[in-house]
Amino acid sequence: MRIVSGKYRGRRYSGTIPSEIRPTTDNLRETIFNILANNISFESLTIADICAGTGFMGFEALSRGASKCYYFEKSRKSIELIYKIAASFKIENFEVIKGDAVKKLQSFSINNPDMRFDLIFFDPPYGSNQFNNIINVINENYLLVGGGLMVVEESVSTQILLPENFEKVSEKTFGATRIIILKNRSANKMY
């Protein structure tokens, strides 16, 4: 696995990825970031990577100029892997928030009432049906800035129900994987 572009471009992680972690491939990650680059500048963005797995989506955003990434992850193996990769790349501008994503996003909102994310990555385990709960928590707690983007990597079979103020910017299917980029159309609650 490698960083595709930016400050850490070309850096590779050649360690073992635990079999229960499903990383986004380099090619798919590059496709996602090419779509994002047409919609936003990564410079100084605050990122959330929910169900982070390897953490590579956040690392890629940090490489391209994002200021900080918050990883929400409950798997001990994923958390250990994120720290290993960060150490090997010498990346420090991140924080790992351990535990159930719904509960941790709610408590994050309470403990950081003025904090909003500019970009959110969400890649839950396929078939977990977490999408609708997560997007509702994000929406109800104003965790994504108005105009902010959310990248969802889900199974093609997952039924997606969007809050009224979210719109699809892009949707692409790659085999059993569907990538959806959403935009928060809300004009208020920006920082």
* Closest of 112, 113, 78, 121 to residue 96, by C-alpha: 78
pLDDT in tens, 44-90: 999 999 999 999 999 999 999 999 999 999 999 999 999 999 999 99
Q: 68 - beta bridge partners? A: 46
174: alpha, beta or left? (left if phi > 0; alpha if psi -120 to 50): beta
Contact residues for 176 (Cβ-Cβ < 8 A; gap 6+): 126, 155, 156
Domain residues of the chain, as ranges? 26-184
pLDDT-derived band at 191 (thresholds 50, 70, 90) equals very low
pLDDT in tens, 138-187: 999 999 999 999 999 988 888 888 999 999 999 999 888 899 999 999 86
Distance CA 68, CA 111 (A): 17
Q: Fill in the DSSP letter of residue 67.
A: S
Question: Are the CB atoms for 183 and 147 separated by under 8 Å?
Answer: yes
> 14-18, 35-39, 147-151, 172-176 — which one is most confidently predicted on average?
147-151
Confidence at residue 24, expressed as pLDDT on a 0 to 100 scale: 85
> Which of the following CATH numbers is that of domain 26-184: 3.40.50.150, 1.10.10.10, 3.20.20.70, 3.20.20.330?
3.40.50.150
Confidence at residue 128, expressed as pLDDT on a 0 to 100 scale: 77
- Could you tell me the strand order of the sheet in which 68-73 lies? 94-98, 68-73, 46-50, 117-122, 144-155, 177-184, 166-174
